[in-house]
Chains A and B, each alone.
Chain A
């Protein structure tokens, strides 16, 4: 299994540009999520999905869109990049457990710089 993969690893954008961060998992996980991590801080949830066709907002959704057309893929779209979106972006996936929240598997991250 490849686990959770993210592309690209690095990206530089100019203010106002749009782009899509790709995330894929091959573990047949129902739950997928996107986090951003700013320097020296914890991870903040942007959007999440509990299955194909179902998405919802997290803690910091403004400026980002997501869709979940398949179980495997969960792309994150930046609509009009701003310098405040400079961050490291992590995608994660997990099963939806019957008890506690199941173990989340994280991708390697995408380091985004907006000039």
Chain B
């Protein structure tokens, strides 16, 4: 499994864009990049998944450069309710032992 590195914490203010970068230097050809969000006392929730270039949904965007050795989760115009821990995972269809690292704690202030 490709190991991931992401910042421990990030602070932001309401209305700003938050970008969280995840490094995964040894990503394999078949690996996808997936991001989850976790609020306190809840299980993680899927946000977005991508393989290359850019993926966008109603919640976030995921930017993946051509070499795929990193990826950036972009949260547009955050609100207080976006305060959570965000996890970056890398794996393919045969990677059953998915690992959630410590994640990035994003704190949004008024």
Contacts and interface: CB of A to CB of B under 8 A. Distances in A.
Interface of A: 4, 31, 33, 35, 41-45, 48, 50, 56, 58-59, 90, 92, 96-101, 103-109
A98 B30 CA distance: 10
Interface of B: 30-34, 36, 41-46, 49, 51, 87, 89, 91-93, 95-103
Residue from the set B43, B44, B87 with the largest chain A CB neighbour count within 10 Å? B43
Q: Is the interface of B mostly helix, strand, loop or mixed?
A: loop
A35 B103 CA distance: 15
A109 B41 contact: yes
B93 A100 contact: yes
A42 B103 contact: yes
B42 A98 contact: no
A92 B97 CA distance: 12
A19 B29 CA distance: 42
Contacts of B103: 42
Given A43-B87, A48-B97, 16 more contacts: A42-B87, A42-B100, A42-B103, A44-B99, A45-B97, A59-B99, A100-B31, A100-B91, A100-B92, A100-B93, A101-B93, A101-B98, A103-B34, A104-B98, A106-B44, A109-B41
Contact of A106 (B31, B45, B98): B45
A101 B45 contact: no
B43 A92 contact: yes
A99 B97 contact: no
A45 B99 contact: yes
B91 A101 contact: yes
B96 A50 contact: yes
B91 A90 contact: no
